[in-house]
């Protein structure tokens, strides 16, 4: 695989920034929005609440939530995606009321939102559950100190959303430090909020009376970039991955260097040159700046053809190895015990029919298909389409033999 690929805007930033626009009375011009299914679903959600949301050109989305007249997001609407929980923080922050069904999304075992609720309650909301619907209401929201018991990206962002218009100062301790947490804070600040400390484990939000419209450009997608970097390493390729922030890629770059790839960093791009021999490696996924859980399946695919035995420990989710059964169909030799996978490197993978079990597992299957000898067909592409923009087109432009087949049934 050789050539250049341009990375799209970050999915996990976009799926929070679009709901965050609910807090703004005025036009938010959001640039570098990835054209993925999760974004389409969120746009539909915002429109059904009474906002306007239109693309201007390919990747600039203009949202005006001034006219929102509903605080209710029913199950039919939210079941398709996890990030719909950001509607709770945003609607509560602006209208002091949110009525949102429990979200769907990829299944990695239990996905509680207790820390989000703890934060809303600390700000003064009364939160109840009724038949799978979260109802949050408040007379007013008042800044306070919130200590997160677990480092949660979603809870950190959701509490920021609920707190930007609250009275006084809110602090979030043990906050998540992911690049997209910083991106949401920067978006809110561009609209007039006062959020400081994002990117550290202590975030301080001084409530402001209102947010106004403005323009903001979403950061590049760390995980899409990592997926192409791993693809280059796994196929002995030479790929320049453009529109990235190399700092966000440090844990992935370091691991790729460890397995023997050459990684060259430039200002806003990274070149990865794969080596014929892939060395074994051990990985534990952790919150940022640790190795990202959302890159775990892609790395396991790479290690499945490494020399020797590697161990991967999933440190974030209870159950994120469902895709391994599919990978074994291609000839990988992996033993999973709970949150640990032991990978005996094999000489090569053989093409076979597999399915995407979830978004990143699906990305792993595409990588596996690219390195396998013979043909691999992957079904359940709806998972991949949730979070990757034109994945097959980008791989094809690097010389991969990959195409999407539309089936009638």
Considering the rule CB under 6 A, would residue 398 count as an interface residue with ligand EPU? no
The residue of the chain with the least Cβ separation from ligand EPU equals 154
Q: What are phi and psi of 197, to 5 degrees?
A: 90, 0
User: Residues 12 to 51: which contact ligand EPU by CB under 6 A?
Assistant: 12, 15
Considering the rule CB under 6 A, would residue 277 count as an interface residue with ligand EPU? no
CB atoms within 10 A of CB 308: 12
Considering the rule CB under 6 A, would residue 387 count as an interface residue with ligand EPU? yes
Question: Residue 153 Cβ, how far from ligand EPU at the closest point, in Å?
Answer: 4
Q: Which two tokens stand for residue 304?
A: 């499945």
**CB-based burial of residue 67 (10 Å sphere; 0-12 exposed, 13-18 middle, 19+ buried)?**
exposed
Query: Whose Cβ is closer to ligand EPU: residue 82's or residue 255's?
Result: 82
Considering the rule CB under 6 A, would residue 293 count as an interface residue with ligand EPU? yes
Considering the rule CB under 6 A, would residue 154 count as an interface residue with ligand EPU? yes
Among 2, 150, 254, 257, binds ligand EPU (CB under 6 A): 150
Size, binding site for ligand EPU by CB under 6 A: 24
Among 23, 98, 155, 356, binds ligand EPU (CB under 6 A): 155
Question: Residue 137 Cβ, how far from ligand EPU at the closest point, in Å?
Answer: 19
Question: Residue 270 Cβ, how far from ligand EPU at the closest point, in Å?
Answer: 20
Q: Going by C-beta distance under 8 Å and a sequence separation of 6 or more, which residues neighbour residue 345?
A: 278, 280, 303, 304, 305, 306, 307, 308, 309, 310, 333
Residues 320/108, Cβ–Cβ less than 8 Å:
yes
Question: Residue 111 Cβ, how far from ligand EPU at the closest point, in Å?
Answer: 5
Angle, helices 11-20 vs 222-234, to 10°: value is: 170
CB atoms within 10 A of CB 166: 24
Among 80, 94, 360, 394, binds ligand EPU (CB under 6 A): 360
Considering the rule CB under 6 A, would residue 153 count as an interface residue with ligand EPU? yes
User: Residues 73 to 92: which contact ligand EPU by CB under 6 A?
Assistant: 82-83
Choose the binding region for ligand EPU from 114-122, 132-140, 196-204, 210-218 (rule: CB under 6 A). 114-122
Considering the rule CB under 6 A, would residue 359 count as an interface residue with ligand EPU? yes
Tokens 């561009």 found at: 190
Q: Among all residues, which ones are annotated catalytic? A: 106
Among 67, 112, 132, 399, binds ligand EPU (CB under 6 A): 112
Query: Whose Cβ is closer to ligand EPU: residue 82's or residue 204's?
Result: 82
Considering the rule CB under 6 A, would residue 222 count as an interface residue with ligand EPU? no
Considering the rule CB under 6 A, would residue 116 count as an interface residue with ligand EPU? yes
Cis peptide before 289 (omega within 30 of 0): yes
Question: Residue 112 Cβ, how far from ligand EPU at the closest point, in Å?
Answer: 4
Query: Whose Cβ is closer to ligand EPU: residue 93's or residue 154's?
Result: 154
Query: Whose Cβ is closer to ligand EPU: residue 111's or residue 355's?
Result: 111
Question: Residue 48 Cβ, how far from ligand EPU at the closest point, in Å?
Answer: 20
Binding positions for ligand EPU, rule: CB under 6 A? 12, 15, 82-83, 106, 111-116, 150, 152-155, 176, 293-294, 316-317, 359-360, 387
């Amino acid at each position: 695989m050789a050539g250049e690929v341009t990375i799209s805007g970050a999915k996990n930033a976009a799926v929070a920034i679009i709901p965050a626009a609910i807090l703004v009375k005025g036009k938010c011009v959001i640039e570098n929005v990835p054209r993925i299914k999760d974004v389409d679903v969120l746009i539909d959600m915002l429109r059904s609440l009474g906002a306007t949301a239109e693309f201007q050109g390919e990747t600039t989305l203009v949202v005006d939530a001034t006219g929102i007249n509903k605080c209710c997001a029913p199950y039919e609407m939210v079941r398709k995606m996890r990030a719909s929980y950001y509607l709770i923080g945003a609607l509560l922050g602006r209208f002091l009321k949110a009525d949102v069904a429990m979200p769907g999304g990829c299944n990695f075992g239990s996905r509680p939102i207790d820390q989000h609720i703890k934060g809303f309650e600390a700000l003064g909301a009364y939160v109840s559950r009724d038949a799978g619907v979260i109802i949050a209401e408040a007379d007013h929201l008042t800044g306070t100190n919130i200590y997160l018991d677990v480092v949660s990206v979603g809870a950190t962002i959701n509490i920021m959303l609920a707190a930007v218009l609250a009275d006084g100062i809110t602090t979030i301790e043990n906050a998540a430090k992911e690049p997209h947490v910083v991106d949401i804070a920067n978006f809110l600040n561009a609209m007039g909020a006062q959020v400081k400390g994002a990117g550290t484990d202590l975030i301080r939000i001084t409530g402001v009376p209102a947010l106004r419209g403005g323009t903001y450009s979403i950061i590049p997608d760390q995980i899409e970039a990592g997926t192409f970097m791993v693809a280059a390493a796994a196929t002995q390729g030479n790929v320049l991955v453009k529109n990235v922030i190399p700092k966000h890629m440090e844990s992935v770059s370091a691991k790729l260097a460890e397995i023997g790839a050459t990684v060259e960093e430039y200002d806003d791009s990274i070149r990865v040159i794969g080596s014929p021999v892939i060395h074994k490696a051990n990985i534990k996924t952790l919150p940022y700046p640790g190795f990202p859980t959302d890159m775990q399946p892609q790395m396991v695919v790479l290690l499945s053809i490494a020399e020797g035995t590697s161990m991967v420990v999933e440190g974030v989710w209870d159950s994120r190895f469902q895709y391994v059964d599919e990978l074994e169909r291609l000839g990988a030799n992996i033993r999973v015990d709970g949150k640990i996978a032991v990978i005996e490197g094999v000489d090569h993978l053989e093409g076979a029919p597999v399915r995407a079990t979830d978004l990143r597992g699906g990305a792993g299957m595409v990588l596996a298909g690219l390195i396998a000898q013979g043909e691999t067909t992957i079904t359940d592409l709806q998972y991949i389409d949730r979070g990757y923009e034109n994945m097959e087109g980008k791989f094809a432009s690097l010389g991969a033999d990959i195409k999407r087949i539309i089936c009638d049934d």
